[in-house]
């Protein structure tokens, strides 16, 4: 089973004045920590809500310092269950984002496309076998192919026996 895991990260940013600046710096800082090892992790702005349900911006600024909520998405392949995917994502991302708290907020099971691909490849194999048989029978009568110069291949290249020294 393959899963898409979304992890929320609380990224601290220093010396900022606006929420937009804090978000840009947090995304850049997180990208630097994850790349090049985890360049397949998608970084998005997180969402926050107040206890009353009011939508809040992803950055909280106090005294020129900010705490920015980011969502990090990655696909985990060949896992046994959702908890397994969660542990793998937290470990992989957490190793690179030191001292940044992480929380798994969403796990989506992806549909397996292997079964469809195998069925399609079997159909393609059956079709290609028929095509190969037809092309072989069509080319049996003509052993020499012409090159751009109009000469046959056996005139340009010597036979194998001519290349081997005889004792």
For 56-72, the pLDDT digits (tens) are 999 999 999 999 999 99
- 16: number of Cβ within 10 Å: 19
The two tokens of residue 68 are 């920015």
98, two tokens: 């030191």
pTM above 0.75, yes or no: no
CB 30 within 8 A of CB 11: yes
Per-residue pLDDT band at 49 (split at 50, 70, 90):
confident
pLDDT band at 89 (very low <50, low <70, confident <90, very high): very high
CB 65 within 8 A of CB 87: no
Instruction: Look at residue 73 and tell me whether its pLDDT is greater than 90.
Output: yes
Record the tokens describing residue 57, joined without a space: 């911006």
CA–CA separation, 21 and 71 (whole Å): 17
Find the mean pLDDT for residues 93-110: 93
Q: What is the mean pLDDT of the chain?
A: 79
Q: Is the pLDDT of residue 167 over 80?
A: no
- Pair 26, 66: CB distance under 8 Å: yes
User: For position 20, what pLDDT does the model report?
Assistant: 94
CATH for the 2-110 domain, from 3.30.70, 2.40.480, 2.30.30, 2.160.10: 3.30.70
3-state secondary structure of 135: helix
Residues 6+ apart with CB under 8 A from 28: none
């Amino acid at each position: 089973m393959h899963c898409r895991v979304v992890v929320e990260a609380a990224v601290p940013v220093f010396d900022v004045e606006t929420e937009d600046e804090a978000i840009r710096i947090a995304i850049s800082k997180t990208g630097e920590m994850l790349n090049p090892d985890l360049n397949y992790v998608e970084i998005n702005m997180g969402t926050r809500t107040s206890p009353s349900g009011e939508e809040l911006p992803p950055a909280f600024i106090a005294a020129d310092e900010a705490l920015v909520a980011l969502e990090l998405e990655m696909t985990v392949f060949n896992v046994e269950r959702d908890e397994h995917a969660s542990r793998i994502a937290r470990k992989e991302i957490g190793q690179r984002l030191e001292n940044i708290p992480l929380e798994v907020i969403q796990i989506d099971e992806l549909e397996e496309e292997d079964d469809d691909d195998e069925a399609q490849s079997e159909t393609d194999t059956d079709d290609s076998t028929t095509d190969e048989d037809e092309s072989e029978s069509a080319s049996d009568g003509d052993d020499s192919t012409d090159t751009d110069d109009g000469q046959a291949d056996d005139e340009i290249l010597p036979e194998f026996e001519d290349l081997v020294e005889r004792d």
